[in-house]
Structures are given as structure tokens and as C-alpha cells.
Amino acid sequence: MFRLALLTLLALPLLAQDRVGTVQLRVSTDRADWRYQPGQPVRFHITAIQDGHPLLGAKVTYKIGPEMLPPTIEQTVPLPATGLTIDGGTMTDPGFLRCIATLEFKGKTYRGLSTAAFRPEALQPTQQDPADFDQFWAAGIAALAKIPLDAKRTLIPEYGNAAANCYHLNLQNIGAGTLPSRLYGILCEPKAPGKYPALLTVPGAGVRPYRGIAEMAARGIISLQIGIHGIPVNMDQSLYDALGTAALAGYNTYGLDNRDRYYYRRVYLGCVRANDYLTSHPNWDGTNLAVTGGSQGGALSIVTAALDPRVKGLAAYYPALADVTGYLQGRAGGWPHMFRATEGPMSHRTPEKIATTRYYDVVNFARRVKVPGLYTWGFNDETCPPTSMYSAYNVIPGEKQLLLALETGHNNIPEQVAQVNAWLVTFLKK
């Protein structure tokens, strides 16, 4: 009976089978290095594949224009199996021309982009450098120095490893005016006795907990990873989620109408306070101190290197807060894009707020960075546009190296991280 049933089953025709696969919508330039001279035409090529083969019967919408600005070309057309090549035009001045493509397939939208560079090494900031910039920050550092460090730390065994101990650390920091606040972070230090270099890791935007960089401590580097919001960094994620959608939502523009009350005053000086602790650590080697971070943390890396002469080097991923006034001059500006909106409740285009940004814009700190640095980003970044990042990079007087991961957006790839970490370890332990 069983044999008969099996034979009957095998004799049945195969039922129709559905398949599912990720659609990849790719946009590329006609030059492998993505670079053009002003006036040279760009041709973008758009392809869509599924399971390694062309996606048939799709329509694609493409938009082309200067990054972050309204498109100058917009079309919806059928996408041939061989792909679509488009004349993207050109730019007459240094900058970036971007093609963004989208298509709909089975109820889902797929998106791809590519960004052509026109002499980005010639980009210069739009932001003004105030005459009293150095005096303003010297006064802030002097006020910070009057506040005792008052360091408190608590061992967190589960954050460490066989070679490193990790602690929840909190320090006294400057607050509103000269009033104190607290700065929190995760300190990781080598277990073995000895003298070690130190690395400050500064955070990207948002509100979240941190676990420290125990792997750096295991490699013989004292590591301190800080938060910026004056709250402990080892609590449940739900608390940070609540703060990020309520009390700390939009923190990046709090107090923007006054340079003494802007949110980032306490943040920038807090990075110096973190270095106060690292350079007082009994196991610090007395010489080697670097800072690293991405996005907001890339900005804070540049800021800290400019403000604190104890910093000997930095590694910055896709720095934010750079040349934020670009939008006032008809080109892309840096995150948090406070001047992108020209009117309405999202606009911050007032004389007072524009004036405040002059004291906090990364380009004005970049002008003062004299120590070696490794900087890295991609051309497809839509959070920190490459126009804004090059505007800061191009005015750095110190020794600098740029590591490009061209196709990346506001993210990094393993090869990029490995190279940055190797640079940091070599730099700190030379």
C-alpha cells in the first residue's frame, strides 16, 4: 500500500513554483574613478537584476542634479534588459552631480544612486570664520578647567574580555554657562600592568547605550567611548528610544540662536573633559592620544583635535556638521541640514542662528587641525554630502590622508574599518 502511494505521488505533475530574490538596482558612472573636470559630460548607466539576471518589464524613474538639491533632469522610462545609459549633463564648478534611480516591483520600491565628482579638491567652505573664534573656545576651555574632574567608575565584567577590563565611567563636565553637568562613557583598559597609548571614541548622532571598545584595550590601548547627552550609557535601550523621540528629539538645533547656549557647546567641551581623564590615567604613556568617530563622531574627532593640543592624531569617518551654510549659497550643506528648508517651521534661516553656526561648524575647526589624520567617506553619502566633507578636508593644514570607499553612502564597509583600525593602532603604538 505504501509503495503504491509513493508511486502515485511521484507520478503527479510538479506544481508551479514561485521564487523570490532581492532586486538590485545599480547606477554607475562612465568613469571608474567617478571623477570629471568641470564641463566634461557624465553618462550614468542604470541596470536592474534579480537572481543574477536582468529584471524584465520594469520601468525606472531617474533624477539627476547637484547632490541634495532639486533635480534638473527627471524621467520615467522602460528599463531595457541591457540597462539604460543616460546623458547626465555636467557641472561648471567644483561639486557633485548625482543620479538617483527608483523602480517598483511587486509592491516594493528599489533605489540606487551614483555621484560624479567635479574637482572636489577645489571645493572651499561657504562658512565664515569669526575673528573671535579662538577666544570663544579658549574661554570655554578655561571655564571647564575650573570644574573638578570628579571621576567615578564602576566595573562591568561582562563588557570586558580576557585581556581587558571595562568600566562605566562618569565625569563632571561643563553644563549651561559655567554650571556643571556629567559626562558618561565606557572605559576599557588593558589588564596587564604597563604604560599604554589612549584612544577617545566619540559617538555618531542619536541616543543610545554603548559597550566600549574592549578589543582595542586587548591590543594595548586604553579606550574611552563616550556619550554626549549627560546620561548614563549602560541602561536599557527602551529608555534611549523614549528620549530620542521626546526630550532629545532634534537636540542638534537646541539653543541654536545663541552661541553660549547651543547644545554642542557642552558636547565639544565634554570631549576635552574626556581627554582630561585619559591623560590623567595612571597607565597612560604620557604621549600618545588619538580620537576617532563617524558622522557626528567624525565631526567631534576634528573638533577635539583642533581644541586639544594633547591629541596627536585622529581618524574621522564621514564627518557631519561641516559647512552647514552651503544651502544658503545654493549648494549642499552638512548634517543636520538646518538651513536646507527655505521657509516654514523647519527653517532656521535667521541671522542669530547663522551666526551661531560659525562657532560650531567643523570647517572652522578643520582650519586649525595640525596633527596627522586619516579621513574616509564615500561619494554616495546623503546624510553628510561629500561637498560638505571636502569643504572641511581641503582647509586642513595638518598632514592628512583620504581613504575613499566610493560607492558607500552613510555607512562603512569591513575593508574600510580594518584599514582605519590598522592605521590607528600603528599610529598610537609607533
Contacts of residue 417, defined as CB under 8 A and 6 or more positions apart, other chains included, come to none
**Options 229, 337, 348, 410, the catalytic residue:** 410
Contacts of residue 207, defined as CB under 8 A and 6 or more positions apart, other chains included, come to 229, 240, 241, 243, 244, 248
**Options 301, 381, 388, 391, the catalytic residue:** 381
Q: What is the identity of the amino acid at 404? A: L
Number of H helices, E strands in the chain: 10, 18
Is 168 a known active-site residue? no
63 burial type by CB count under 10 A (0-12 exposed, 13-18 middle, 19+ buried):
middle
Backbone phi, then psi, for 98, in 5-degree steps? Answer: -120, 140
CA-to-CA distance for 65 and 98, rounded, in angstroms? 6
> Is residue 232 a contact partner of residue 238, using CB atoms and an 8 Å limit?
no
Backbone phi, then psi, for 184, in 5-degree steps? Answer: -120, 150
Chain mean position to CA 93: 26
Which helix H or strand E contains 375, and what residues bound it?
A: strand 373-377
The closest alpha carbon to 252, from 410, 129, 384, 412, belongs to 384
**Options 295, 301, 388, 391, the catalytic residue:** 295
Is 381 a known active-site residue? yes
Which helix H or strand E contains 103, and what residues bound it?
A: strand 95-105
CA-to-CA distance for 403 and 377, rounded, in angstroms? 7
Alpha-helical segments (H) within 281-413: 296-307, 351-357, 362-366, 386-393
User: DSSP character for 274?
Assistant: H
Contacts of residue 244, defined as CB under 8 A and 6 or more positions apart, other chains included, come to 206, 207, 208
**Residue 61 corresponds to which cell in the numbers above?**
524613474
> Is residue 323 a contact partner of residue 95, using CB atoms and an 8 Å limit?
no
How far, in Å, are 137, 146, 208, 295 from residue 245 at the CA level? 31, 34, 12, 20
Q: Give me the active site residues, please.
A: 295, 381, 410
